[in-house]
Structure formats: structure tokens, C-alpha cells
Amino acid sequence: MAEDPQLTVGVPTETFPGEARVALVPGVLQALSKAGMKTIVESGAGQAAGFPDAEYEEKGATIGTRAEAFGADVVLQVQTFGANPEKGRDDLSLMRKDQVIIGLTDPLGNAAGVQEMAKTGATILSIELMPRITRAQSMDVLSSQATVGGYKAVLVAAANMPKMFPMLTTAAGTVRPAKVFVIGAGVAGLQAIATAKRLGAVVQAYDVRAAVKEQVVSVGAKFVEMELEAGEAEDKGGYAKEMGEDFLRKQRELMTSVVENIDVVITTAAIPGKKSPVLITEEMVKKMQPGSVIVDLAAERGGNCELTKANETIVVNDVTIMGPTNLPATVPYHASSMYAKNLVTFLTHLVKDGAFQWDMEDQITVETLLARDGEVVLPRLREALGLEAPSAATAETPGPAKPDGTAELRVAPPEGTSNGAVKPETAAS
């Protein structure tokens, strides 16, 4: 363990409405200490997730104010200003040059917010842009939080339907198992399938990517086959691509015959920065059985159901339609633990010998780096903001100052090295 930590890591309390998670939990602080980092936690930051200040102190953290947490060399958050533009605006004045901010930033949904963060001079990294490569799996926040979201979606559905999930044979008669249909077999979808199956439901699932059939079957569901020409339905990272309206129309027609006999529909098709594709129309809802439940995990971008309202539960023709946008925050203890592990693995990947080592030939670094030296640097975001290619003056990547006042520098890759590729799924997919 380093005797004189060179970097300080700040953990402020989350301010996004309903956000109960915390960026770091006590159990991961030892790993940071061994890497030569000292942690400053805002008082009460972990309380809502089940982690009192005393537990952080027992693991060596200092408890302080919000300003003190933001005074650290590195600030770790669940939802940074980019993802929390209203309640997080006051944090902009606390950010500074030679500081690194890491967390969820919603870069494709709020590029302007990222630009505001960039103007503070801080170096901004977006953990939801983590590339889908083998060595980055332990840093993949979208997957860890989608696991929680998929699990909780099934419990929410079970609590809001008039039937029980399992088949039961009792003296009062036989209870038939509930029928569950999961649309989208990403991380959230697969976890929803597995959870529904464990509760005793009969589960079916569909994904535009035929390649995931084996995964669907392996967790206990029947894969619904649809005679559709999907073409290139999968990108290089293994995620579903956005399909055309003609394809979606045919898909909805074939899906109607499935959903009208289903008790619970869970949808997970979300595309970062774009409106979610409509997979369940109002006409399809009208044909569903009374008492059926739809849990739309793509509600934040409009929803996969035409009638979905974000963060609301509505009833249409006796069908309950739920549009939760942050289910992981409703299971904050374990969601925080998983998120914290992702963050610490990412941070220790970037920090060596007590200082940031910016390897701009590393895909993980290149694809998560949003801003540095006052400018947005991710090509995709610069294009969205109508900005020209980065100037030569910003081709070097400064990190936080070392104890001697100098900074680590690495040369950025040639223009076009990174395409800013991201995963077309959120914590809800």
C-alpha cells in the first residue's frame, strides 16, 4: 500500500431525482488505496444505498463536504452534469482544469451538456461509452446496470399483474403459469428471461439478431422466430442496429399474434441518442388480455410501446403500461456495488504509479474520452455539435497534475482513429 497517496478521489452525493446509487462503495476502497489513491466521500453520499459514512471511514476514506469531494483530482459520479443537467448545474462551478470527471454523461443525448463540462477545463470520461471488447468487460457499466434493470423489471411486472407467475397445484385448483414475452435479448433482456423463468413463468423472447437464439434458449426461454429479412442486424460490437421503418412495420404485424396471448411484455430496445423504435402499437395493446402488463425499459427515449409515458404507470384497455427510466436506482445496494467495481477497474486501468497514463493507442481510453483542455474531443460529439476537427494544440492529452506540478502527456491518435462507437443499449436494455 502506498504510504503517500498521490491522487485523491472524490465521491459526491448524487443529485439526480430518485437516484439512490453511489459511485463508490466501502468494499472497493482498498483497491484504490493499494493503487496509491485516497478517497474523499461527501457526507451521506452512500446513505440511500445502504452505506453509512462510518463504513467508508472504516475503510480509510475521509468524510467531507461536496466542495471537498469536488476538490479531488478525480471525481467519480453515477450521473454527472451531462446526465443530470438540471440538478447538477451547480457542480459546474466546482469543476476545474487538471481534474478528471468520470461517470455516466449521456453524451449522445446531451452533447451540449458535455460541451459545458468541457469548458471548465476538466478532462471528462464517459463510462457508458466503454467499448465492447473482452478486456473491458469488467468495466462495462451498461451491462452491470442492465443486469439489475432486467431483474427488477420482472419483479415490477409481477407486483402489478393480477396473476401469479408460477404454476401451482393446490386443493383449491391448479394455477396456470404466467406467460412472459421479452423483446430484445441484450443483457437486460436475458436477465429478465432468467428472472421470469425462476419465478415459474413460461417465457418467450425475440431479438432481431438471430445469433442470440442460443443465449435465449440457454436461460430458459423459447425463441420466437419471425420470417423477416433483417440484413445487417448487428454491428461490429455485437449489438442490434437501428432498423428501417418498413422492417419495423412488418415486425409489428408478426408480433401482434404473439402479444395478444401474453400476460407480461418486457421491452428493452433502446438506441443511445435516438428515439426508441416503436414495437408495440396502440392497436396491439387493444388486443392484449385484460390485466396484462407492459414494462417498457426504453421509456427514457420515448418507449418501445406507442403509449408509454416515461416515469409513469398508465392503464389503457385494462392493460397496465409502465415506463421506468432508472430501475437500477431502485436496487441501490447491489447496483452501486457493481457500478463501483466497474469504475475502480476503469480508474486503475488509467492510473499507473500514482498518475494518469494517457495511452491514446488504447481503445478503452480513446472511446471513453469526451473532453480535455477545454474542448470536446470525441469525433462523434464534435460532429453533432458542428465543430471542426480538434486543433493541433489539443492533440496532447493532459492529466491531473502530479505532486511536482507537472502533468503526464500522451500524443493523440491521428484523426479518424476512433469512430466513437457506442453500444446501442442503456441501463435499461
pLDDT of amino acid 374: 95
Q: 116 and 171 share a domain? A: no
143 annotated active-site: yes
pLDDT over threshold 90, residue 154:
yes
Q: What is the dihedral of CA 391, 397, 403, 406, to 10 degrees?
A: -40
Q: 178 and 319 share a domain? A: yes
pLDDT of amino acid 251: 80
Report helix, strand or coil for 142: helix
> Could you tell me if residue 289 is inside a domain?
yes
> Could you tell me if residue 59 is inside a domain?
yes
- Cβ neighbours for 411, distance < 8 A, ≥ 6 positions apart: 360, 395, 396, 397
> Could you tell me if residue 169 is inside a domain?
yes
pLDDT over threshold 70, residue 402:
no
Instruction: Point out the catalytic residue in the list 79, 143, 337, 418.
Output: 143
> Could you tell me if residue 30 is inside a domain?
yes
Q: What percent of the chain has pLDDT over 70?
A: 85
Q: 153 and 283 share a domain? A: yes
pLDDT of amino acid 389: 73
pLDDT of amino acid 211: 86
Q: Write the DSSP string, 66-98.
A: HHHHHTSSEEEEEE-GGG-TTTTGGGGGG--TT
Report helix, strand or coil for 138: helix
Q: 19 and 64 share a domain? A: yes
pLDDT of amino acid 241: 54
pLDDT of amino acid 243: 64
For range 293-305, the mean pLDDT: 96
Instruction: Point out the catalytic residue in the list 137, 176, 318, 353.
Output: 137
Structural domain range at position 104: 7-129+332-411
Q: Which of 158-172, 299-313, 357-371, 378-392 has the lowest mean pLDDT?
A: 378-392
pLDDT of amino acid 424: 33
> Could you tell me if residue 135 is inside a domain?
no
Q: 300 and 406 share a domain? A: no
pLDDT over threshold 90, residue 364:
yes
Q: 50 and 189 share a domain? A: no
Q: 224 and 265 share a domain? A: yes
Q: 68 and 40 share a domain? A: yes
Instruction: Point out the catalytic residue in the list 91, 140, 362, 373.
Output: 140
- Of 284, 299, 325, the residue at which a domain comes to its end is 325
pLDDT over threshold 70, residue 398:
no
> Could you tell me if residue 309 is inside a domain?
yes
For range 358-366, the mean pLDDT: 94
pLDDT of amino acid 422: 30
- Of 325, 343, 378, the residue at which a domain comes to its end is 325
Q: 297 and 345 share a domain? A: no
User: Total domain count for the chain?
Assistant: 2
Annotate 384-395 with b (16+ C-beta within 10 A) or e (fewer): beeeeebeeebb
pLDDT of amino acid 393: 41
pLDDT tier for residue 100 given thresholds of 50, 70 and 90: very high
> Could you tell me if residue 150 is inside a domain?
yes
pLDDT tier for residue 310 given thresholds of 50, 70 and 90: very high
For range 129-154, the mean pLDDT: 96
- Of 307, 325, 343, the residue at which a domain comes to its end is 325
Grid coordinates standing for 2? 502506498
- Residue entry with cell 469488467: 138
pLDDT of amino acid 403: 32
Tell me the three-class secondary structure of 32-58, residue by residue. Answer: HHHCCEEEEEECCCCHHHCCCHHHHHH
Q: 108 and 153 share a domain? A: no
Q: Which of 122-126, 137-141, 151-155, 231-235 has the lowest mean pLDDT?
A: 231-235
pLDDT of amino acid 226: 79
* CATH number of the domain within which 35 lies: 3.40.50.720
More confident residue, 248 or 283: 283
The angle, 0 to 180 degrees and rounded to 10, between the axes of the packed helices 187-198 and 141-159 is: 40
Bridge partners (DSSP) of residue 372 are 375
pLDDT of amino acid 391: 58
Instruction: Point out the catalytic residue in the list 56, 151, 206, 239.
Output: 239
CA-to-CA separations, 164 to 70, 200, 263, in angstroms, rounded: 48, 9, 10
More confident residue, 351 or 392: 351
Judge contact between 260 and 280, C-beta under 8 A. Answer: no
289 annotated active-site: no
Q: 193 and 94 share a domain? A: no
Q: 193 and 95 share a domain? A: no
140 annotated active-site: yes
pLDDT over threshold 50, residue 69:
yes
359 annotated active-site: no
pLDDT of amino acid 81: 98
Judge contact between 308 and 296, C-beta under 8 A. Answer: yes
Q: Which of 33-47, 119-133, 246-260 has the lowest mean pLDDT?
A: 246-260
More confident residue, 265 or 170: 265
Q: In a 10 Å sphere around its CB, with 0-12 CB exposed, 13-18 middle and 19+ buried, how is residue 411 labelled? A: exposed
- Summary mean pLDDT of the chain: 87
> Could you tell me if residue 423 is inside a domain?
no
- Bridging pattern class, strands 74-79 and 62-64: unpaired
Q: What percent of the chain has pLDDT over 90?
A: 76
pLDDT of amino acid 407: 33
What tens digit of pLDDT does each residue of 210-250 get? 889 999 999 999 999 877 655 555 545 444 555 667 777 78
